[in-house]
Amino acid sequence: MRLTQNSIAGLICLALSIGMLVLTRGLPQSSFVPVGPDFYPRIVLVIMAVLSVLLIVIDLRQQAQGTEAPAAATPEKRNYRLVGVTYAIFTGYVILLPLVGYRAATVLFVAALQAVFESPRGARRWAMVLVSALASSFVTYVVFNDYLSVLLPRGHWTGW
Amino acid sequence: MYELLLGGVENILHLHFLVPLFLGTLVGLIGGALPGVTITMTIIIVLPFTFGMDPLQGLATMTGVYVGGSAGGAITAALIGIPGTPSAITTTFDGYPMVQKGQPGRAVWLGIWSSFLGGLLAGVFLIGATGPLASIALEFGPWEYFSLFVFALSMVAGLTEGSLVKGLLSGAIGLAITIVGSDPIMSVPRFTLGTEFLRNGFPFLPVLIGIFAFAQLMTDIEKMGPADHGAAPLKAPPLTVSHLKVIWEILSRPFLLVWSTLVGILIGVLPAIGGSAATVMAYDQAKKFSKTPERFGKGNPEGIIASEASCNANVGGSLVTIMAFGIPGDAVTAVMLGAMTIHGIQSGPLFVSQHPDIAYGIYAAYLVAHPLMVLICALGARLFLRVVTVPKSILIPNVMVLCVIGAYALGNIMDDVVVLLLFGFIGYALVKFRFPLAPLILGLILGDQIEVNLLRSIMSDPNPWLFITRPISGSLLGLSVASVVFALWQHHRHKGRITEVEDPDF
């Protein structure tokens, strides 16, 4: 027996539902209301736990019988490194937004992500990346801040 | 009713509403034509632009995007054989072969005019059925609402491809997200981990944007090569055609047009099934009813008519469900539901009677968006092919920036952006674990309503049998069980043939 994708997903959901079920203990009850604030969450979490167990059991049974659901027919090559880098850059963007403000953070974010996607070579390509990032930041700022009255974040460090 | 509708059309034709509707339809057509950018994604991108607008302006824009997006997929589907949106997949079957036979104008315009006619026919249903359905829903007590929402969830979970348990579990995860925050009766904080921000629960739109946008963007990114500079510019063939001839080609098949439209409406009305199911089913039906089924897949106009008429009719059907019951017909209407909430509108049975100006404004926007769509296509269908060559390296960072603005502008707080980031991770993880997203989104939308109606019914009468003995409630719960049993039977029948798709239908 090995832990397949479905078993892992089932275990994660089971752990989450049990963890949250534990947290429902100690929620204050009221004498005016027939059911407390824990009533509905417990129903949902028990259903989630039961379904998680079912997912694991079905997966283990399929493994034992050798009748696992066939995986996607065409396993394409996936660039997970790029996904990881994208998440890292996006997390940096979320951290930088309140510190340096929307305009600067957006220039940095768009330029960084485009550079990762394109791997620009030569001054001309880099200049295009920079121009594209500046344009993105400028256009969205003007459209949202000036025309659509959406106040975009200002930086604590920069003041703009 | 017709006076209100005429008033709505008159209102929408003012530049104040017409310009946003035109722009929404244009952006929808472009988003629909862009392979890899779905209508849901286009709506998410457009959403922050509507925050500063008044409610009808914003909703007219969204309606335009929805109508335009549903038709836009046909252009790329026919001309380059790549569906701009998943629902246009069946248009490629006959549209592309027709183009290869040297009839690009006929292929594209058969698609556009079928979308137009199917959409308008569905509009008649939308305007005629929403009111009566809402009146039925007005008779509902909390028992019936609870059972209706349970039915919607069980049906969606049961109809998902792949594992039934995963579909149900996905719905349960959606419900579990909504139990975070204060309880609706005593406002006792639950699972807030001591933070003030979570007292109101996870904000709906950042969660939705995070799950949908990131799940799709990251799935695109993982397929990118080391230097994806986009495709070489495509040269569009001339699309000149006799429009009267094309329209006659469609109208001379009235049964096909009406039947495909009905299939589209029906799938649209059923919660969260989506446009792809509508077009696939309509195409399949058209083939079954056809006298020449062997011609399907070889450039048969019937295939294009069935696919495109059902695709836009599906929009009308989805709008009925959202306006009469407050239940989203698919992922796109889920985001539209969020947009309505932002503009202070509570969708549901009281919506049409309490906000007739907005409701009839939406009907009018829906009707006017169709001729606008035809007009835009007549002016620039060939230009859309240039847009599809925009490199993903430029498109993706900008879409992400718009997602951040959409989440942030909701309450002007960074916490919402953090929620977007968190659910961006969760959405992608769910896709990687091959969970269907539609039940999760429905659970997320209906969770609060399910809890409120369950508690209301218990507080009115603690007898739990009422859920079964009240006729409508009992029937709906019976249908819920039936839908799960049907799904089990279907899974059993296809045992071994069901594959779990890694890239779900966004």
- The string of pLDDT tens digits covering residues B237-254 is 777 888 899 999 999 999
* Pairwise pLDDT comparison (A130 vs B84), residue with the higher score: A130
Give pLDDT tens digits for B482-504. Answer: 988 888 887 777 665 544 545 55
Contact assessment for residue B405 and residue B57, using Cβ atoms and an 8 Å cutoff? no
**What average pLDDT score do residues A90-105 get?**
96
The neighbouring-strand residues paired with B189 are: B182
Q: Residue B500 domain-assigned?
A: no
**Is B412 within 8 Å of A151 when comparing Cβ atoms?**
yes
Give pLDDT tens digits for B199-214. Answer: 989 988 889 889 988 8
Query: Cβ contacts (< 8 Å) between B412 and chain A: which residues?
Result: 151
Compute the distance between CA of residue A77 and CA of residue B318 in angstroms, rounded to an integer.
36
* Confidence bin at A99 (pLDDT 50/70/90): very high
- Domain count along chain A: 2
Q: Residue A77 domain-assigned?
A: no
| Highest mean predicted confidence (pLDDT) among B35-39, B155-159, B211-215, B340-344 | B211-215
Instruction: Tell me which residue in B188, B224, B393 faces A114 most closely, judged by beta carbons.
Output: B393
End-to-end CA distance of chain B: 36
Query: Cβ contacts (< 8 Å) between A128 and chain B: which residues?
Result: none
The pLDDT value recorded for residue B334 is 80
- B 139-178 residues with CB < 8 A to A: 162-163, 165-166, 168-169, 172-173, 175-176
Compute the distance between CA of residue B117 and CA of residue B505 in angstroms, rounded to an integer.
26
**What average pLDDT score do residues A31-45 get?**
88
The pLDDT value recorded for residue B208 is 86
The pLDDT value recorded for residue B500 is 52
| Highest mean predicted confidence (pLDDT) among B333-342, B374-383, B418-427 | B418-427
Q: What is the dihedral of CA B161, B166, B168, B171, to 10 degrees?
A: -100
* Closest to B359 measured CA to CA, from B152, B29, B133, B25: B133
Q: Residue B498 domain-assigned?
A: no
| Domain boundary residue, one of A22, A46, A65 | A65
**What average pLDDT score do residues B17-30 get?**
94
Query: Cβ contacts (< 8 Å) between B190 and chain A: which residues?
Result: 23-24, 27, 37-38, 41
Cα four-point dihedral sign A64, A69, A73, A78: negative
> What percent of chain B lies above the pLDDT cut of 70?
92
* Confidence bin at B325 (pLDDT 50/70/90): confident
3-state secondary structure (DSSP) of residue B182: strand
Q: State the Cα angle at B82 between B80 and B83, rounded to 5°.
A: 125
3-state secondary structure (DSSP) of residue B123: helix
* Closest to B53 measured CA to CA, from B445, B368, B361, B417: B361
pLDDT score of B286 more than 60: yes
Cβ partners under 8 Å of residue B466, min gap 6: B143, B457, B473
Average pLDDT, chain B: 85
Tell whether B191 lies on the interface with A, counting CB pairs under 8 A: yes
Q: State the Cα angle at B241 between B237 and B244, rounded to 5°.
A: 160
Query: Cβ contacts (< 8 Å) between B398 and chain A: which residues?
Result: 110, 136
The pLDDT value recorded for residue B388 is 66
**Is B393 within 8 Å of A117 when comparing Cβ atoms?**
yes
Q: Residue B385 domain-assigned?
A: yes
The pLDDT value recorded for residue B23 is 95
Compute the distance between CA of residue B457 and CA of residue B467 in angstroms, rounded to an integer.
9
The pLDDT value recorded for residue B161 is 62
**What average pLDDT score do residues B367-377 get?**
94
pLDDT score of B298 more than 80: yes
**Is A48 within 8 Å of B454 when comparing Cβ atoms?**
no
CA distance B224 to chain A (A): 7
Exposed/middle/buried for residue B141 (C-beta within 10 Å: 0-12, 13-18, 19+) = middle
Alpha-helical (H) ranges within B47-140 are 55-79, 89-100, 104-138
The pLDDT value recorded for residue B506 is 56
3-state secondary structure (DSSP) of residue B181: strand
**Is B421 within 8 Å of A98 when comparing Cβ atoms?**
no
The pLDDT value recorded for residue B329 is 64
Compute the distance between CA of residue B142 and CA of residue B301 in angstroms, rounded to an integer.
48
* Closest to A136 measured CA to CA, from A95, A108, A155: A108
The pLDDT value recorded for residue B498 is 47
> What percent of chain B lies above the pLDDT cut of 90?
34
**Domain identity same for A148 and A101:** yes
Give pLDDT tens digits for A114-145. Answer: 999 988 888 999 999 999 999 999 999 998 88
**Is A110 within 8 Å of B500 when comparing Cβ atoms?**
no
pLDDT score of A146 more than 90: no
Number of Cβ within 10 Å of residue B243's Cβ equals 14
Give pLDDT tens digits for B165-185. Answer: 998 999 999 999 999 999 988
**Domain identity same for A150 and A102:** yes
- Residue from B404, B497, B499 to probe the interface with A (highest A Cβ count within 10 Å): B404
* Confidence bin at B104 (pLDDT 50/70/90): confident
CA distances from B43 to B38, B47, B205, B444 (A): 9, 6, 12, 18
Compute the distance between CA of residue A155 and CA of residue B168 in angstroms, rounded to an integer.
44
pLDDT score of B467 more than 50: yes
Number of Cβ within 10 Å of residue B392's Cβ equals 21
Tell whether B410 lies on the interface with A, counting CB pairs under 8 A: no
pLDDT score of B75 more than 50: yes
**What average pLDDT score do residues A69-96 get?**
83
Contact assessment for residue B158 and residue B486, using Cβ atoms and an 8 Å cutoff? yes
The pLDDT value recorded for residue B294 is 87
Average pLDDT, chain A: 89
* Pairwise pLDDT comparison (B407 vs B233), residue with the higher score: B407
Number of Cβ within 10 Å of residue B167's Cβ equals 27
**Is A78 within 8 Å of B223 when comparing Cβ atoms?**
yes
CA distance A61 to chain B (A): 14
CA distance B129 to chain A (A): 34
pLDDT score of B229 more than 60: no
Chain B residue with Cα closest to A25: B190
Compute the distance between CA of residue B178 and CA of residue B443 in angstroms, rounded to an integer.
8
**Domain identity same for A61 and A107:** no
Q: Residue B506 domain-assigned?
A: no
3-state secondary structure (DSSP) of residue B189: strand
The pLDDT value recorded for residue A92 is 97
Q: Which domain holds residue B407?
A: 2-493
Number of Cβ within 10 Å of residue A62's Cβ equals 14
Q: Which domain holds residue A104?
A: 93-160
| Highest mean predicted confidence (pLDDT) among B107-121, B137-151, B285-299 | B107-121
- Residue from A65, A83, A137 to probe the interface with B (highest B Cβ count within 10 Å): A83
CA distances from B95 to B79, B85, B106, B107, B111 (A): 7, 14, 9, 5, 8
Number of Cβ within 10 Å of residue B365's Cβ equals 30
Instruction: Say whether the ipTM exceeds 0.85.
Output: yes
Compute the distance between CA of residue B53 and CA of residue B55 in angstroms, rounded to an integer.
6
The neighbouring-strand residues paired with B182 are: B189
Q: Residue B208 domain-assigned?
A: yes
Tell whether B240 lies on the interface with A, counting CB pairs under 8 A: no
**What average pLDDT score do residues A17-38 get?**
86
Compute the distance between CA of residue B176 and CA of residue B168 in angstroms, rounded to an integer.
12
- B205-222 in b/e form (b: 16+ CB < 10 A) is bbbbbbbbbbbbbbbbbb
A78: left (phi over 0), alpha (psi -120 to 50) or beta: beta
Contact assessment for residue B316 and residue B128, using Cβ atoms and an 8 Å cutoff? no
Query: Cβ contacts (< 8 Å) between A38 and chain B: which residues?
Result: 190
- Domain count along chain B: 1
3-state secondary structure (DSSP) of residue A120: coil
Cβ partners under 8 Å of residue B469, min gap 6: none
**What average pLDDT score do residues A25-45 get?**
86
CA distances from B438 to B204, B455, B489 (A): 15, 25, 21
State which amino acid sits at residue B498.
I
Query: Cβ contacts (< 8 Å) between B168 and chain A: which residues?
Result: 51
Tokens of A95: 């951290």
Q: Residue B407 domain-assigned?
A: yes
The pLDDT value recorded for residue B159 is 66
- Cα–chain-centroid distance for residue B495? 29
- Residue from B221, B228, B502 to probe the interface with A (highest A Cβ count within 10 Å): B221
Q: What are phi and psi of B279, to 5 degrees?
A: -70, -40
* Closest to B15 measured CA to CA, from B23, B6, B5, B7: B23
Compute the distance between CA of residue A28 and CA of residue A33 in angstroms, rounded to an integer.
12
Tokens of B424: 């961006």
Beta strand B189-190 with B181-182: parallel, antiparallel or unpaired? antiparallel
The 3-class SS string of B337-348 reads HHHHHHCCCCCC
pLDDT score of A68 more than 70: no
Compute the distance between CA of residue B226 and CA of residue A25 in angstroms, rounded to an integer.
51
Chains A, B: CB pairs < 8 Å? 189
Contact assessment for residue B409 and residue A150, using Cβ atoms and an 8 Å cutoff? yes
Query: Cβ contacts (< 8 Å) between A22 and chain B: which residues?
Result: none
End-to-end CA distance of chain A: 58
CA distance B169 to chain A (A): 6
Chain A residue with Cα closest to B417: A94
